[in-house]
Amino acid sequence: MDTVCIAVVGAGVIGLSTAACISQLVPGCTVTVISDRFTPDTTSNVAAGMLIPHTCADTPVPTQKRWFRETFEHLSEIAKSAEAADAGVHPVSGWQIFRSVPAEEVPFWADVVLGFRKMTEAELKRFPQYVFGQAFTTLKCETSAYLPWLERRPACLQNPWATPIHPPWRVQRTGSCFIPDV
């Protein structure tokens, strides 16, 4: 059987995560990441990913919750591992505060994060301009560390990452990695 050649467009956190996932799920494939910029020059490199989902109107909530749970569990495993510091993944606790009470006081992801609860009146008094808040522990992914860590993953090292592709393109599948405006 011929090796399946797969191209992933985008070398930010979504592109590299997708490439790493494909590398692990498709045995013997060759994954090539195509991008005009790679770490440390991607938009992802200057973002710190706080794992807090926002509802996407066009995607059913059960699907969003499954995605969030899978991502949270995956990153939790990294955060608990010896590689947590190198990967830049760690738990972070805090508050999410609102100027008006949200339509859903308990969001769909409340049972996925750790220790979700409504803020107490005493806590809210620290922020007089806000009327409602939630406290919880989630995960933070420092992408300036996470992207290089992804590139060094054993599954990724078997494949030619960032190999320039010149015509004729020799790929059977191309995945475009982007987040639509929400």
pLDDT digits (tens, 9 = 90+) for 93-137: 999 999 999 999 999 999 999 999 999 999 999 999 999 999 999
Q: How confident is the model over 2-11, as pLDDT tens digits?
A: 778 888 888 8
The CA-based dihedral angle spanning residues 157, 171, 173, 67, taken in that order and rounded to the nearest 10 degrees: 20
Q: How far is CA 85 from CA 54, 115, 149, in A?
A: 27, 23, 10
Look at residue 176 in the predicted model and tell me its pLDDT: 57
Q: How confident is the model over 24-42, as pLDDT tens digits?
A: 888 888 888 888 777 787 8
Output b/e per residue, 26-56; b: 16+ Cβ within 10 A. Answer: eeebbbbbbbeebbeebebbeeebebbbeee
- Asked whether 134 and 96 are in contact (CB, 8 A), the reply is yes
Mean pLDDT of the region 35-56: 81
Average pLDDT taken over every residue of the chain: 84
Which range is least confidently modeled, 29-38, 71-80, 113-122, 158-167? 158-167
pTM of the full predicted structure?
A: 0.79
Strand pairing of 132-142 and 5-9? unpaired
d(CA 20, CA 93): 28
Give just the sign of the alpha carbon dihedral 3, 39, 90, 109: negative
Write the single-letter amino acid at 29. C
Which range is least confidently modeled, 54-58, 121-125, 131-135, 150-154? 150-154
Higher-pLDDT residue of 173, 54: 54
Look at residue 175 in the predicted model and tell me its pLDDT: 56
Q: Say if residue 182's pLDDT is above 80.
A: no
Q: Where are the extended beta strands (E) located within 40-124? A: 48-50, 89-98, 114-118
Tell me whether residue 94 is exposed, middle or buried, using C-beta atoms within 10 angstroms of its C-beta: 0 to 12, 13 to 18, 19 or more. middle
